[in-house]
Homo-oligomer: A and B are copies of this chain.
Amino acid sequence: MKKKVLFTGLALALGAGYALTAFSQAKPEVLVKQRQSAMTLQGKYFGPLVGMLKGAPYDANVVARNAAYLDTLSQMPWDGFAESTKGEKTRALPAVYSDPGKFKQAQDQLRTAVGALVAASAGGNEGAVKAAIGDVGKACGNCHDNFREKQ
């Protein structure tokens, strides 16, 4: 009985389409869905910080929480850009696959900017935090400019 409950839970937890082995073997469409999910959640938690640059009330607690979330989320999209996904219909530009060094640099720029935002949000200086939010935005924009099709 216990075993049955366990396996029901696990099957449901995984849903359809997830490989039970290492996720590097996941299907291309699953990898795309996963990397787009990471981008969606980065947008969810970065959006309110941009709002604070644009006049929404500054909330240091929200900044600190979202910065920590972004520190985790900004590690998640990259392994989804596997060679196997080249044929999927997405906005990823060919440069993702033809210039992996530059793509990695753009990822590192984001990771560095998010790390600086985490540090700034711990420091408590609103001006420094806002500058750090701006730098994260530049890192997002730099990567999108070079590696994502314009809409």
Q: A8-B145, A20-B56, A54-B20 are in contact. Are A140 and B46 (CB under 8 A)?
A: no
Mask of A38-68 contacts with B, CB within 8 angstroms, 1/0:
1111111011101101101000000000001
Q: How many copies does the complex hold?
A: 2
A20 to B56, CA, bound (A): 8
Mask of A122-144 contacts with B, CB within 8 angstroms, 1/0:
00000000000010111111101
- Beyond contacts A9-B134, A69-B75, A72-B72: 14 other A-B pairs, Cβ-Cβ < 8 A, are A9-B142, A9-B144, A10-B50, A10-B137, A12-B144, A12-B148, A13-B46, A13-B141, A15-B39, A19-B47, A20-B54, A23-B47, A37-B37, A69-B72
